[in-house]
Each structure stands twice: as C-alpha cells, then as structure tokens.
Amino acid sequence: MSNHAEQHERWERQPRETSRAYELFCAYLDMGIERSLRKMKASLNGSPSVRRLQVLSARWNWVERSQAYDDYLEYQRRLQQEKERRAMHERHARVALLGMNVAVKGLESLLTKVQSGEGAVAPGDLTRLLDTSVKVERLARGEPTDSHEVMGPGGGPVKLDLVQTLKRIDEVYGLKTEDSAGKTRDPGDGSGASES
C-alpha cells in the first residue's frame, strides 16, 4: 500500500472507534492547523470536558491523525500548484509562438515590400515584437532572457586578493577589518595596521 493511502486511512474512522469519538475527532480536525482541545471545548456546545477530550485524543491519536491529514492537504495543494504552473508555462509558450509567427509574417511582408520597391513598414515595430516574443518564449521555457559573464583581466578567471578586498571593504563601508597578519585596520587607514 502506498504511503499516501496509509496516511489517508489514518484520518478516516478507525476500527472500534465509536461514532461519538469519530464525530469529536472530525470537529477537532476541522479546526485546522490552529486546533487545540481547549479551543474545541470552547467552540462546541455540550462537548465533553477538556480532560475527557484529552483521553479521547490520546486513545485515538488525534494529533498524529490530524498531522497526517494536514500533510495530505499540503501534498494535494502542491500537486495542484505544480499542475497549474505547468499549464501556465504551456500557455505562455503558445502565446510566444503565436507572437513570433506574427512577427515572422510581418518581417516576410516587409521583406517582400522592400524587395518590390513598395512602401516601407516601420521595422522598429516588428523588431520589438520579435524581441518581446523571443523573451516570452524563453521565460515560458524556464530560460533566462539575459546572460551575464564575469571575467577577470584578459578574459581569464576572476581572482580575489584578500588585502585588496579588505581595503575595498574599508573604502566602501568604513569598517575595521583584519589584514593577513591579523592586525585590525581602522577605516580609511591606508598606512598599515594598529594593534587590536
């Protein structure tokens, strides 16, 4: 039996659980994540005492069964959210493709007009449409719309020098920092270190 099927059974009526005990458990369960026996007693007319509710809760594992139910609801919410997110991505991809088709047809039309010497269509409008459509499609497919590369001098890797980094921290934030010799440097003190 699957884990979710086992959890599902935990909040259903248990073997030998009386109708009244199950009714009280359901009232407790329906209180949501803020549930407590004292709140339950206060909200129900003619309910048993808090002590009796404690006995029933312990006997029928209300806390564990409620947690299993809460976990199940959260699992269902996440499944639904994922389903809706996938549908959104598919919808956005379809819209992007439609936009790109319009832009391509416009570009083909512009090309035909330019080649035949007929009037001109504002290419800026078509360029913006194509650019927007490409960005929307990339977003819908989970791809970035921009790329940024960080390189060090001469296109090599970025190298960090501790002393220069500490000096830069001093310049920007005015903080006291320790140099590689373990001496505290005062903000703006470019002459060296003072004893801590």
Q: Tens of pLDDT along 75-108?
A: 999 999 999 999 999 999 999 889 888 888 877 8
Helix, strand, coil % in the chain, rounded to nearest 5: 65, 5, 30
Q: Does residue 190 fall inside a structural domain?
A: no
Tokens 């936009």 belong to 99
CA distance 128 to 98: 15
Q: Which helix (H) or strand (E) is 152 found in, with range? A: none
Q: Are residues 55 and 80 in the same domain?
A: no
Count of domains observed in the chain? 3
Q: Does residue 176 fall inside a structural domain?
A: yes
Q: Does residue 191 fall inside a structural domain?
A: no
Highest averaged pLDDT of the listed ranges 15-19, 163-167, 183-187, 190-194: 15-19
5-36 pLDDT, tens per residue? 554 478 999 999 999 999 999 999 999 989 99
Q: Are residues 56 and 74 in the same domain?
A: no
Q: Does residue 82 fall inside a structural domain?
A: yes
Residue 53: strand, helix, or coil = helix
Listed residue (67, 69, 35) closest to 53, CA to CA: 35
Average pLDDT over residues 180-194: 54
pTM for the model stands at: 0.50
End-of-domain residue from the set 12, 43, 60: 60
pLDDT of residue 81: 96
End-of-domain residue from the set 36, 60, 84: 60
Q: Are residues 40 and 74 in the same domain?
A: no
Q: Are residues 48 and 108 in the same domain?
A: no
- Cβ atoms 97, 137 nearer than 8 A: yes
Structural domain of residue 133, as residue ranges? 69-140
Q: Does residue 145 fall inside a structural domain?
A: no
Q: Are residues 129 and 165 in the same domain?
A: no
Is 80 exceeded by the pLDDT of residue 185?
Answer: no
112-159 pLDDT, tens per residue? 877 788 866 577 767 887 788 888 888 888 888 887 777 777 777 777
Q: Are residues 110 and 131 in the same domain?
A: yes
Is 90 exceeded by the pLDDT of residue 56?
Answer: yes
Q: Does residue 196 fall inside a structural domain?
A: no
156-182 pLDDT, tens per residue? 777 777 787 778 778 877 766 555 566
CA distance 170 to 6: 60
Is 90 exceeded by the pLDDT of residue 71?
Answer: yes
Q: Does residue 146 fall inside a structural domain?
A: no
